[in-house]
Amino acid sequence: MKDLLRLRTSLTEEIETLLNEQIKVEAYSSSLYLAMSSWCDRNGYDNSAGYLEKQSGEEREHMLKLFRYVNDLGGSAVSPEVINIPQEFDSFKGVFEMALQQEIQVTSNFNRIADRCQKANDYVTFQFLQWFLKEQVEEEYVARRILELFEVIGEEGTGRWEIDKHIPKVSFGISGE
Amino acid sequence: MQAKINTHLIEIFKTEFGSIYQCDQTNHFILEYAGRFTAFKPTNFIDFTKRVFAINLHDMASNTARHADIAILMPLYTETCFLLTMSDTIRLQRILGGAKTILHLNTLLKTSQLQFA
Ligand SMILES: [Fe+2]
Ligand SMILES: [Fe+2]
């Protein structure tokens, strides 16, 4: 008797479902950052608006990377339905607090998927996930650094204007340069 | 056409109400339920199983509106339209769930054979 399910794809149903859920989360991140970009734009934080728009594009790339992987392995990638994107935010700082929270959530998702891959002996997907785990170190670092600007520069006076100017310059691995 | 399908069937799981077969020649799964045969490609078979398990039995039982007595499944990959009462749904869930377990066992068996060969 042939193993028809295995002939279809090397992904187990469980891993395929987890990857499709993560496709949805990345799509959510992408839409969330775009909403944040719009909020920053209409509140006068032009540089942050540009930065968040770029982030939104990167999240879409993450989504597509997962999407293509599922299809390449013979699975069925599902085009995600994204709802409940907040359009209003408490404050300039609140935007970046939420961004950090989102990144932390994504990191824990990838850890969970990696854990399930090991338990299911799916080392191919486990290997594939390494890129995302590394990427998350960078994403969390940048989000934390941005929040620190609010402390270091301070929000009083022209503080927010100054913070906005610095946000696009924050990047991973430039310390010491 | 039906006879041709039937020649290479391997029974995967059977209850008193229906069964699932696998056809190694066409690489299809075949559901036999209420005297009807429906063939599925593996991807669609998984999707169909998900849809049947997604039917809200609780809602069917508690909602008094007449439309809630029947679940309608019209997957585009089959020509069949499934009109399912609550007991149909429970029966199909048992058949499909049983088949899923057997297929999973088959995978485990195949992988361990490869490992110890
Ligand atoms: Fe991401
Ligand atoms: Fe991210």
State the Cα–Cα distance between residues A175 and A135, nearest whole angstrom. 18
Q: Could you report how far apart the first and last alpha carbons of chain B are, in Å?
A: 39
| Distance between A4 CA and the closest CA of chain B, angstroms | 7
Instruction: Give the 3-state secondary structure of residue A87.
Output: coil
pLDDT at B34 over 60: yes
Q: pLDDT value at position B111?
A: 77
Residues of B in contact with A76 (CB under 8 A): 43, 47
- The CA A54 to ligand 2 mean position distance, Å, reads 11
pLDDT at B28: 95
pLDDT digits (tens, 9 = 90+) for B45-80: 999 999 999 999 998 888 888 888 899 999 889 888
Say yes or no to pLDDT of B20 above 80: yes
What number of other Cβ atoms are within 10 A of residue A170's Cβ? 16
Could you state, in order of their start, the residue ranges of all structural domains in chain A? 9-79+87-169
Q: How far is A153 from chain B (nearest CA, A)?
A: 52
* Run means of pLDDT, 10 residues per run, chain A, 177 residues: 88 94 98 98 98 98 98 95 97 98 98 96 96 97 96 96 96 63
B88: containing domain: 2-116
Four-point Cα dihedral A43, A46, A48, A53, nearest 10: 100
Q: For the domain covering A9-79+87-169, report its CATH number.
A: 1.20.1260.10
Predicted TM-score of the model (pTM): 0.84
Which ipTM value was assigned to this complex? 0.80
What are the backbone dihedrals phi and psi of residue B2, each rounded to the nearest 5 degrees, phi first? -60, -45
The pLDDT assigned to A1 comes to 86
Q: Is the pLDDT of residue B114 over 90?
A: no
One-letter amino acid at A47 equals N
Q: Give the phi and the psi of residue A87 in degrees, each rounded to 5.
A: -110, -15
CB contact under 8 A, B46 and A7: no
Q: Chain A closest CA to B70's CA: distance in Å?
A: 27
- In DSSP notation, chain B reads -HHHHHTTEEEEEE-SSEEEEEETTTTEEEEEETTEEEEE-HHHHHHHHHHHHHS-HHHHHH--SGGGG-EEE--TTSS--EEE-HHHHHHHHHHHHHHHHHHHHHHHHHHHHHHH-
Please name the residue of chain B whose CA is at the shortest distance from the CA of residue A12: B104
* Ligand 1 midpoint to CA A11 (Å): 21
Number of domains in chain B: 1
pLDDT of residue B1: 45
Which chain A residue has the Cα nearest residue B49? A13
Chain A interface disruption, residue of B41, B53, B76, B107, most A CBs within 10 A: B107
Beta carbons of A146 and A96 less than 8 angstroms apart? yes
**Residue of B5 and A26 predicted with greater confidence:** A26
CA A172 to chain centre: 15
pLDDT, tens only, B72-111: 999 889 888 999 999 999 999 999 999 999 999 988 888 7
Answer yes or no: do B24 and A1 touch at CB < 8 A. yes
